[in-house]
Amino acid sequence: MGESSSESRRCLLLKRTIPVVLLTCLALTLIVGKVAFQARRHLDQAESALESNDDEEAVWHYQWAVRHYVPFLPANRSAVEALLTMAEAAGDDEQRRHVLRILRASLYAIRSIYQPFPDVLRRVEEELDLSSLDQPTRE
């Protein structure tokens, strides 16, 4: 009798656990899918803005493509690379610094237990530090 009741308890526990695990997996899949979809949508909108020569709109959408971070999502990497390219192609130093600051803020915004794109963040911070040395000081 003791074995039968422990087996029935185990069976009951399993019947209660499986739906909870399945619902949790489904919820996580839907959340990750939505975030990945939004990242891709912002990346597409940024590319459309670039085609229309609206750099400010493109920077805004690239920023949000980075901020909708999902590990290993190609849209995130593409947005980071696009912002770096825009910073390099900027006409003046102030515009370049603006794009780099937005990229740095976006990279810090997606930090969690690890920092995604640490090499890019390090490079951006070095460039911002070096360019701040070139700026005249206000007295």
* pLDDT 10s digits, 113-137: 999 999 999 999 999 987 665 555 5
Check: CB of residue 92 under 8 Å from CB of residue 45.
Answer: no
Which pTM does this prediction carry?
A: 0.83
Cα dihedral sign for 35, 98, 89, 50? positive
Check: CB of residue 110 under 8 Å from CB of residue 66.
Answer: yes
What is the per-residue pLDDT for 13? Answer: 80
Q: Where are the domains of the chain?
A: 2-134
- Lowest mean pLDDT, pick from 8-22, 51-65, 97-111: 8-22
Check: CB of residue 113 under 8 Å from CB of residue 133.
Answer: no
